């Protein structure tokens, strides 16, 4: 299962300028917010969560919300992604992989879910 999303960095930046930390709290947990040092990172996290929900085939909504997806960084600074246990179980996810890039004012994320064998 693969999902992809592209997000305007400026859109996320303006959202933060208008609503402050509350803007981030709508889609990020406390640990994720602590990782954000610039708008590019926040936009990348937004795109990652959207891509993760699309990899489920649902999008953000009833079956998977922003806070059902957790983003962290590996030892080398690489992005990591994990769904809450209930989501992993419901969709049969064994492992998830995330890649985020930024270019020309956009953040792009791709999520690949490896499914458990039946």
* Helix (H) or strand (E) segment spanning residue 85: helix 85-91
**Cα 84 from Cα 107, distance rounded (Å):** 24
**Cα 61 from Cα 104, distance rounded (Å):** 29
Q: Which of 106, 90, 108, 114 is nearest to 4 (CA)?
A: 108
Would the annotation count 10 as a binding residue? Answer: no
Positions marked active-site: 54, 102
**Cα 48 from Cα 36, distance rounded (Å):** 14
- Name the maximum alpha-carbon separation found in the chain: 47
Q: Which two tokens stand for residue 116?
A: 């458990």
Would the annotation count 86 as a binding residue? Answer: no
Annotated binding-site ranges for Mg(2+) = 5, 50
């Amino acid at each position: 299962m693969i999902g992809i999303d592209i997000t305007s960095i400026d859109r996320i930046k303006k959202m933060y300028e208008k609503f402050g930390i509350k803007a981030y709290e709508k889609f990020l947990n406390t640990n994720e917010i602590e990782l954000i040092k610039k708008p590019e990172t926040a936009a990348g996290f937004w795109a990652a969560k959207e891509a993760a929900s699309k990899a489920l085939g649902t999008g953000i909504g009833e079956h998977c919300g922003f806070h059902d997806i957790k983003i962290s960084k590996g030892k080398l600074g690489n992005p990591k992604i994990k769904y809450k246990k209930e989501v992993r179980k419901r969709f049969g996810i064994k492992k998830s992989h995330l890649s985020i890039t930024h270019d020309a004012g956009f953040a792009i994320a791709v999520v690949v879910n490896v499914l458990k064998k039946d």
